[in-house]
């Protein structure tokens, strides 16, 4: 050991064939203290160029590598599209809202704000980090949780589940969806219907048909306990979502068609144009599969007519 210690404390002899500046640089590269070494390969390359030019008296016919420019992706609301329809709430928005609810300056959350720099996957990971931090802030804040805090924490869980779904992390998304259902409670509510429907659809995409069917039926039963859908667009949206989910899970074609028709009636009464198109499209696909070509064509014609209208249809996703 004393030999090694002596080598660290006493520099060894230098070769006479190495220029002094180069020897100094190499000594720094192998210095025992990391802070004494060049901070990066870019810095090392720049110093080597300076040494070479000072020794030769002329600039070398090369230039330092250009500083890389990070790829900036212009992420829009459409990039937050959930698989199966809908849009999750952005991490930055949730962080600001969470800060407001717990009376904490939002500047403390800046480190978690998605930068919008990098690939789609890196942005999704940044979104997930922001959503998890927003949820942590809300559940760990001192004092009894208010309904507003609980609702926002549920939104953070739901959004995080959607991001994990987009990232291809099926088990992680399932865990978040289940946590969202648990956090919503057992009392019938639009939030519970929404969480159950999304969990059912997610499990169906994962191939877990039996479990997803049971959860879809629970969502439908919960939706039937809600007040009249006509009284609230939020309630109507939740009921329509539950009906469509139950229809997707039903093996009885007649029941599927009845559920979709009922969903369309509610969407029409509540003036939900996006839900109307979704339910009409699903009815048309079902009728076409059952061999009722003319009836299916009539429904598809109505959908096509609405889609040709230049006015935007908020929230419409044909994949739903």
Range picked from 13-17, 78-82, 161-165 for highest mean pLDDT:
161-165
Tens digit of pLDDT for each residue in 104-151? 887 888 888 887 767 888 888 999 999 999 999 999 988 888 889 999
Say whether both 173 and 62 belong to one domain: no
Q: How far is CA 314 from CA 49, 128, 271, 277, 307, in A?
A: 58, 25, 12, 11, 12
Supply the mean pLDDT for the chain: 80
Give 66: exposed, middle or buried? Use CB within 10 Å, 0-12, 13-18, 19+: exposed
More confident of the two residues 294 and 81: 294
C-alpha separations of 42 from 21, 56, 229 in Å: 18, 21, 63
Q: How far is Cα 315 from Cα 81, in angstroms, rounded to an integer?
A: 9
The confidence score (pLDDT) of residue 208 equals 87
Asked whether residue 194 falls in the same domain as residue 149, the answer is yes
In a domain, 238, yes or no: yes
**Domain assignment present for 152:** yes
The answer to whether residue 1 scores a pLDDT higher than 50 is: no
Q: What is the pLDDT of residue 315?
A: 46
Same structural domain, 92 and 227: yes
Q: What is the mean pLDDT of residues 234-241?
A: 82
Instruction: Give a yes or no: residue 285 inside a domain.
Output: no
Q: Over 50: is that where the pLDDT of 72 sits? A: no
- 203 plus 234 within the same structural domain: yes
User: Which one, of 180, 189, 212, 225, lies nearest residue 89 by Cα?
Assistant: 180
For residue 301, what are the contacts with CB-CB under 8 A and spacing of at least 6? Answer: none
Beta bridge partners of 81: 87
Q: CB-based contacts of 278: which residues, under 8 Å, 6+ apart? A: 85, 240, 244, 267, 316, 317, 318, 320
Above 60 in pLDDT, residue 230? no
Q: Which of 62-66, 198-202, 257-261, 285-289 has the lowest mean pLDDT?
A: 62-66
247 domain residue, yes or no: no
Which one of 242, 275, 291 terminates a domain?
Answer: 242
Q: Which of 197, 227, 242 marks a domain boundary?
A: 242
Last residue of a domain, one of 209, 225, 242: 242
List C-alpha distances in Å: 221 to 91, 256, 272.
Answer: 32, 15, 22
Q: Which residue's structure tokens are 């007519």?
A: 305
- The owner of tokens 């499209």 is 281
Look up the CATH number of the domain holding residue 200.
1.25.40.10
| 134 and 205 in a common domain | yes
Residue 61 pLDDT class (50, 70, 90 cuts): low
Q: Is the pLDDT of residue 316 over 80?
A: no
**Same structural domain, 130 and 49:** no
Q: Is the pLDDT of residue 16 over 60?
A: no
* Same structural domain, 58 and 131: no
Residues 51, 104, single domain; the answer is no
- Would you say residue 287 lies in a domain? no
191 and 143 in a single domain? The answer is yes
Q: What is the pLDDT of residue 70?
A: 44
Percent of the chain with pLDDT over 90: 18
CA angle 314, 308, 273 (to 5 degrees): 30
Highest mean pLDDT among 71-80, 119-128, 219-228: 119-128
Question: Which helix (DSSP H) or strand (DSSP E) does residue 20 occupy?
Answer: helix 20-29
Let me know if residue 254 belongs to a domain. no
Same domain, 228 and 107: yes
Band (pLDDT 50/70/90 cuts) for residue 229 is low
Confidence of residue 172 (pLDDT cuts 50, 70, 90): very high
Task: Say if CB 144 and CB 128 are below 8 A apart.
Answer: no
Q: Distance of CA 272 to CAs 18, 125, 169, 193, 262, Å?
A: 79, 32, 32, 17, 14
> Is residue 215 assigned to a domain?
yes
| The predicted structure's pLDDT at residue 13 | 59
Q: Verify that 63 and 82 share a domain, yes or no.
A: no
Does 42 have pLDDT greater than 80?
A: no
Q: What percent of the chain has pLDDT over 70?
A: 80
Q: Is the dihedral of CA 96, 99, 104, 108 positive or negative?
A: negative
Cα 179 to the center of its chain, rounded Å: 16
Question: In 3D, which of 96, 80, 85 has the Cα closest to residue 128?
Answer: 80
For the segment 253-263, the average pLDDT, to the nearest whole number, is 89
Helix axes 209-224, 190-205, angle to 10 degrees: 160
Threshold 0.75, pTM exceeds: no
- Main-chain phi, psi angles of 84, to 5 degrees: 100, 0
Q: What is the pLDDT of residue 106?
A: 77
Element (H, E) at 248: helix 233-249
Average pLDDT score over residue span 66-75: 48
- Tens of pLDDT, residues 270-306: 888 888 888 899 899 999 888 999 999 999 898 888 8
- Rounded to an integer, the average pLDDT of 194-203 is 88
* pLDDT band for position 233 (cuts 50, 70, 90): confident
Distance CA 220, CA 63 (A): 67
Same domain, 89 and 233: yes
Q: Can you give the residue range of the structural domain that contains 23?
A: 15-68
The top-scoring range by mean pLDDT among 79-93, 173-187, 199-213 is 173-187
Residue 289 included in any domain: no
Number of domains observed in the structure of the chain: 2
């Amino acid at each position: 050991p004393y030999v090694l210690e002596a080598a660290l404390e006493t520099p060894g002899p230098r070769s006479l064939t190495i220029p002094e500046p180069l020897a100094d640089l190499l000594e720094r590269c192998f210095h025992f203290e990391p802070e004494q070494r060049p901070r990066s390969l870019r810095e090392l390359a720049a110093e080597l160029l300076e040494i070479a030019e000072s020794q030769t008296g002329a600039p070398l016919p090369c230039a330092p590598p250009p500083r890389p420019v990070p790829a900036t992706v212009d992420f829009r609301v459409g990039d937050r599209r959930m698989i199966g329809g809908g849009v999750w709430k952005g991490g930055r928005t949730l962080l600001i809202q969470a800060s407001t609810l717990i009376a904490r300056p939002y500047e403390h959350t800046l480190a978690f704000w998605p930068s919008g720099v990098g690939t789609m996957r890196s942005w999704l990971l940044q979104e997930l980090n922001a959503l998890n931090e927003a949820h942590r802030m809300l559940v760990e804040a001192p004092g009894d949780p208010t309904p507003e805090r609980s609702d926002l924490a549920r939104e953070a869980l739901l959004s995080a589940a959607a991001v994990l779904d987009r990232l291809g992390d099926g088990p992680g998304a399932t865990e978040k969806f289940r946590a969202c259902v648990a956090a919503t409670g057992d009392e019938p509510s639009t939030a519970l219907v929404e969480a159950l429907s999304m969990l059912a659809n997610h499990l169906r995409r994962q191939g877990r048909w039996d479990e997803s069917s049971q959860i879809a039926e629970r969502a439908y039963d919960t939706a039937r306990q809600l007040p009249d859908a006509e009284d609230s667009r939020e309630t109507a949206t939740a009921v329509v979502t539950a009906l469509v989910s139950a229809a997707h899970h039903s093996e009885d074609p007649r029941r599927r068609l009845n559920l979709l028709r009922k969903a369309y009636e509610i969407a029409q009464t509540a003036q939900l144009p996006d839900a109307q198109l979704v339910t009409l499209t699903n009815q048309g696909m079902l009728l076409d599969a059952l061999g009722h070509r003319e009836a299916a064509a009539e429904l598809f014609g109505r959908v096509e007519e609405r889609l040709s209208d230049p006015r935007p249809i908020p929230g419409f996703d044909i994949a739903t």
